[in-house]
């Protein structure tokens, strides 16, 4: 009998008898990520079973996605030889963000299928204006820090 712990996925597909498709890496992986978070919250997950995310943080799935990256134009297509498009590029990057933190991609809010920053905005009680003011203050602080570093470098030169 094959159990989820013994599966080694090579790519993901939307349903049986359909070709693998890069965007399903996110849809299936995102679903498993949400399930993992739920299991952690409810303390159902045991340390003896692998976390659901590990099922799709497979080198094979990542390799499949990377093979679907267009060598000239960039972006990702649904299949290896397919032209890149916005949808498959977005969801391929979302999956890579979830499964390969060493790539340093922006974090994904899996429940909404958007960046973590946008997801935080959706969940917040702050108005758009309040959030933009906070973002502006953060940017100003970063610019001030960068200016201080330049001044320090000039002083030390």
Question: Domain with 103 in it: what CATH number?
Answer: 1.50.10.20
pLDDT score recorded for residue 6: 47
Query: In the predicted model, what is the mean pLDDT of residues 39-56?
Result: 61
Determine the Cα–Cα distance for residues 71 and 24; give it in Å rounded to an integer: 21
The verdict on 119 and 139 lying in the same domain is: no
Give the SS3 label for residue 114: strand
pLDDT score recorded for residue 10: 73
Question: 91-102: per-residue pLDDT in tens?
Answer: 999 999 988 878
Query: In the predicted model, what is the mean pLDDT of residues 3-13?
Result: 59
The verdict on 117 and 132 lying in the same domain is: no
Domain hosting residue 144, numbered range: 126-157
Determine the Cα–Cα distance for residues 25 and 150; give it in Å rounded to an integer: 43
Question: What's the number of domains the chain is made of?
Answer: 2
53 vs 36, residue with greater confidence: 36
Determine the Cα–Cα distance for residues 50 and 130; give it in Å rounded to an integer: 41
Tell which phi-psi region holds residue 113, choosing left (phi > 0), alpha (psi between -120 and 50) or beta.
left
Count of all residues that appear for the chain in the document: 157
Integer CA distances (angstroms), 155 to 142, 145, 149, 150, in order: 20, 15, 10, 9
The verdict on 11 and 76 lying in the same domain is: yes
The verdict on 9 and 61 lying in the same domain is: yes
pTM for the predicted model, two decimal places: 0.69
Query: DSSP character for 39?
Result: H
The verdict on 14 and 88 lying in the same domain is: yes
Integer CA distances (angstroms), 118 to 24, 34, 127, in order: 22, 18, 13
Query: DSSP character for 84?
Result: P
């Amino acid at each position: 009998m094959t159990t989820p712990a013994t599966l080694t996925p090579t790519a993901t597909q939307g349903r049986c008898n359909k070709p693998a498709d890069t965007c399903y890496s996110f849809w299936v992986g995102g679903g498993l990520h949400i399930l993992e978070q739920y299991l952690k919250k409810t303390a159902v997950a045991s340390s003896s079973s692998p976390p659901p995310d590990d099922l799709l943080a497979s080198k094979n799935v990542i390799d499949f996605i990377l093979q679907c990256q267009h060598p000239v134009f960039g972006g990702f297509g649904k299949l290896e030889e397919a032209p890149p498009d916005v949808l498959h590029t977005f969801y391929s990057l979302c999956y890579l963000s979830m499964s390969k933190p060493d790539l340093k991609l922006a974090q994904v809010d899996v429940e909404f299928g958007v960046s973590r920053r946008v997801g935080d905005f959706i969940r917040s009680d702050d108005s758009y204006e309040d959030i933009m003011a906070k973002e502006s203050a953060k940017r100003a602080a970063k610019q001030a820090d960068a200016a201080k570093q330049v001044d320090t470098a000039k002083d030390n030169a």
